[in-house]
Structure 1
Amino acid sequence: MKKSLLPILLSGLIACSTPQQKDTEKTTPMTYQFLVGTYTNSPEQGIDFLTVSPESDSINLKTLVSNFSNPSFVLANNSGSLVFSLQEEAGKGGGKIASFKRDLSSNHLTLIDSLETGGDHPCHIALSPNEDFLILSNYTGGSLSAFKVDSEGKLTFSQLIQHEGKGTNPDRQEGPHVHSSTFDKEGKHVLVADLGTNGVYVYDFNPENPESLTLQEKVEMTPGDGPRHLAFSPDGKEVYVVQEMTAVVEVFDYNDGKMTPKQRLSLLEDGFDGAVGAAEVRVSPDGNNVYVSNRGDANTISAFRKGENGSFELIAHYPSGGLMPRNFNLTPDGKYLISAHQKSGDIVVFDRNLETGELKETMLRTKGNQPVYLFPIN
């Protein structure tokens, strides 16, 4: 009786093809994409786009939108279809907020809308969890500007909130300087860092009626701190505040709009003597590590890990790879940290140890024009 050769041939084909498919999956390099906010000094400059593929030793930077002055902060919605950028300028109507439609295949940005913020030098944008509300922080103006956003990206002015007061430093805190606003994890409150009045303002936010932010309380910081940016832990139970002027990251317990001081962590080496300017704070996806950049004469990124008792301890103060690390960010998977430098123009890639949180500078770097913000995008 003759046996069919078909099963033998099929099994041979499967045996040959399966390893090849697996090898293809293993060798496909991961590429990370970032919108890049910049300061500009020529019409050719504007919003940039960064692609990084560490496994293939590839890094590329290009300009998406030119002739767009000082887009120092830029972000996108979750799908990446809408992009929002400010223009950090001053004038009769303050700075500007602009919305763009993004072509997901070509990354081309098409302007949808542009409105004045009503406050000078906007420097930060917050997008509500429902993606239908924007808050602009006007640094020199000392105010908040709120805008509604429809599904097509059209903007409607909603509210302007003016802060009042000052701090103890006559050079930096002569008046209000709103530096950032951040929605909490539940989207019920907005925490606003005001460097000039030395406090974090907690505003109530109603997603059902987002046209009215109402102040709950002002949380005073240690005199002379100058709160700048903040970030929440993944579970929303802690908040980390960068104190720009004292080079400290402060840890607070957080519960339904209430902040309770917990720990202050220095960003300085023992015996450091020089100018400081703490800038950005990022949290690892697992919540075990906090990273903070420090400008001035330090030019470092400080890394901390959470101990078994819930307190943070220093891993190291790492050289940031350039001058004036105003901003940096982690890749969404936490494998890499990308550091951007306003003064030297360097954008530098670091390996991040997923177990220990330690950083190691790679050879991957590129130059840009005053890169000052990095936003990961799909």
Structure 2
Amino acid sequence: MGLFFKKRKVKPIFVGSYGNDLTRGIYVFHLDIDNGEILKKKFYKSLANPIAISKRERFIYVCYKNNTGRPTDGGLWQYASMDLQFGLVAKSTDHGKTYVNSYVNEDRTYAYAVDYYNSEVVVIAILKQKLIRVVQTIKHTGSSIDPKRQSEAHPCFIDMTPDHRMVVCDLGTDEVVLYDIGEKGRLYRNDELTLKLEAGSGPKKIIFSSDGQFAYVLNELSSQVFVYRYQDGQMSLVQKVMTYPTDEYIGQNTATDILMNEKGDYLFVSNSGHDSITTFEVDTTTGMLNTVDNTDTDEKPVQMILVIDKYVVVACQKGGTIESFELKRGESKGVLFETHFSYMVGEPVCLIEGRGL
């Protein structure tokens, strides 16, 4: 083969792992974009459990769980990343609060986060590209019918809508809450536009079609996707679909993540319990979903990302692996196929595509 080898074309991936005292932290992998192989490159140990990772340009934002009860633990931490390098820039711990999801606005002036455990939505100021402090805290109240998961409000996801409102999924109250954004990034709840879902649904996450015409709400507790037509903050129900084949599986299932490809003609949902990724074909005219196939994963898939619109990479917490699957068009059967590449990681729970290529 000689002294020279073909240089791999890769994309970096950051993975957050609960693990143990030796394996807990942030891993950096390279994904080979020619075959889907996962290559470990670097490990950054942390004292706390990383719950969620998001990014905005060269910055990575990590939500950490408070493992100690100390006021300096938990919160949202900001890192600068360049391929394998990962350096702490700033952090906002807010008296030890644990955030489970975050969003940073496009011009990087404010970060928004949700606290599942204290039923709060917070606004964090950013100054000179660094996280500073919490400047607004909003308390969610209410409950629903599940005695274990819905005895109180549990905001668990936050993002921006196509028409530049903030949207929060509250698993505890069965609500998709719309917020208007005011001066200095402050949020104002819009009760007129806030959506009340069927009791016991447990909304976990919402995504939008690329043209902004449709919204897809993933319901963790009922294992359903609700499809809505979206216009000026108004959501009208189009369809409800199950996320796994109920006629084939009688065990308990939890819907954990949802994503859509760039073209918007396929939608993917991960299922913990059934341990699978379900692929739906999307009618881009009506927004409606049609189940295409079901792909087995390792135990308890919890989050997915789509890399270069070709590979679905999934973190399987209980199985202790990250796996890659290839999206193939024009195949006679199926859409998502195993690459047969995976990597063992202690309890991976979150991941994000880094910069590269």
Query: Normalising by the residue count of structure 2, what TM-score does the alignment of the two structures yield?
Result: 0.89
Of 113, 125, 136, 2:113 maps to 136
Q: Paired residue for 2:3? A: none
User: What is the aligned residue count?
Assistant: 342
Which residue in 2 is equivalent to 1:5? Answer: none
- TM-score (structure 1 length as normaliser): 0.85
With over 3 angstroms needed to count, the CA separation of the structure-2 counterparts of 1:154 and 1:267, relative to structure 1, is closer
1:258 is matched with which residue? 234
Deviation at residue 292 of structure 1 after TM alignment: 0.7
- Gap change, CA 1:256 and 1:350, over 3 Å in 2: same
Q: Is the 8 A contact 1:119 1:142 kept in 2?
A: no
Write the mapping of 1:11-30 to structure 2, written as runs, cut at 5 A.
29-30=8-9
- Secondary structure, in 3 states, of the residue corresponding to 1:33? strand
What is the CA distance between 1:354 and its match in structure 2? 4.1
CA distance in 1, matches of 2:205, 2:96: 19
Tell me which protein shows more helix as a share of its residues: 1
Q: 2:189 aligns with which of 209, 215, 219?
A: 215
CA distance in 2, matches of 1:258, 1:323: 37
CA distance in 2, matches of 1:161, 1:183: 17
Aligned position for 1:11: none
Matches within 5 A, 1:140-155: 140-155=117-132
Structure 2 residue identity aligned to 1:74: I
Shift in Å, 1:67? 2.6
Could you report, residue by residue, the CA deviation over 1:175-225 in whole angstroms, capped at 9, with x for unpaired residues? 011110111134x2111001011111000124xx24310001231111110
Shift of 1:145: 1.6
Shift of 1:240: 0.9
**Rg (Cα) greater in structure:** 1
Distance 1:230 1:212, change over 3 A: same
Greater strand percent: which structure?
2
* CA–CA separation in structure 1 for the residues paired with 2:157 and 2:171: 9
CA separation of 1:302 and 1:181: change in aligned 2, threshold 3 A = same
Give the whole-Å Cα distance in 1 for the aligned partners of 2:45 and 2:154: 29
1:214-293 equivalences in 2 (<5 Å): 214-217=188-191, 218-271=194-247, 272-293=249-270
Match of 1:353 in 2: 328
Number of the residue aligned with 2:92: 115
Paired AA for residue 290 in structure 1: L
Q: Secondary structure at the match of 1:369?
A: coil
CA distance in 2, matches of 1:62, 1:117: 32
Q: Give the alignment of 1:306-325 within 5 angstroms.
A: 306-307=282-283, 310=286, 311-320=288-297, 322-325=298-301
Kept in 1, the 8 Å contact 2:23–2:346? The answer is: no
Residue deviations 1:230-262, cap 9 Å, x none? 111111221111100110111111112222111
Percent of aligned pairs with the same amino acid: 22
For 1:176-191, list aligned pairs within 5 A: 176-186=153-163, 188-191=164-167
Task: Give how far 1:32 is off.
Answer: 1.8
Amino acid corresponding to residue 40 of structure 2 in structure 1: L
Q: Which residue of 1 aligns with 2:311?
A: 336
Supply the AA of the counterpart residue of 2:279: A
| Distance in 2 separating the partners of 1:63 and 1:353 | 30
The CA distance in 2 between the partners of 1:358 and 1:226, in whole Å, is: 28
Partner Cα distance (1:231, 1:308) in 2:
14
The Cα RMSD (Å) is 2.1
Q: Which amino acid aligns with 1:283?
A: M
Distance 2:188 2:348 in 1: 34
Where relative contact order (Cα < 8 A, 6+ residues apart) is larger, the structure is 2
What is the CA–CA distance in structure 1 between the aligned matches of 2:265 and 2:63, rounded to whole Å?
32
List gaps (5 residues or longer) in structure 1: 1-26
Measure how far apart 1:92 and its partner are.
6.5
Q: Secondary structure at 2:190's aligned position in 1? A: strand
User: Is the alpha carbon distance of 1:232 and 1:210 closer, same or farther for their aligned partners in structure 2, counting shifts above 3 Å?
Assistant: farther
SS of equivalent to 1:74: strand
Unaligned stretches of 5+ in structure 2? 1-5
Equivalence for 2:16: 37
Matched residues in 1 for 2:337 and 2:63: separation? 33
- Secondary structure at the counterpart of residue 34 of structure 2: helix
Partner of 1:261, secondary structure, is strand
CA shift for structure 1 position 66: 1.1
1:55 is paired with a residue whose SS is: coil
Tell me how far 1:132 sits from its aligned partner.
Answer: 2.1
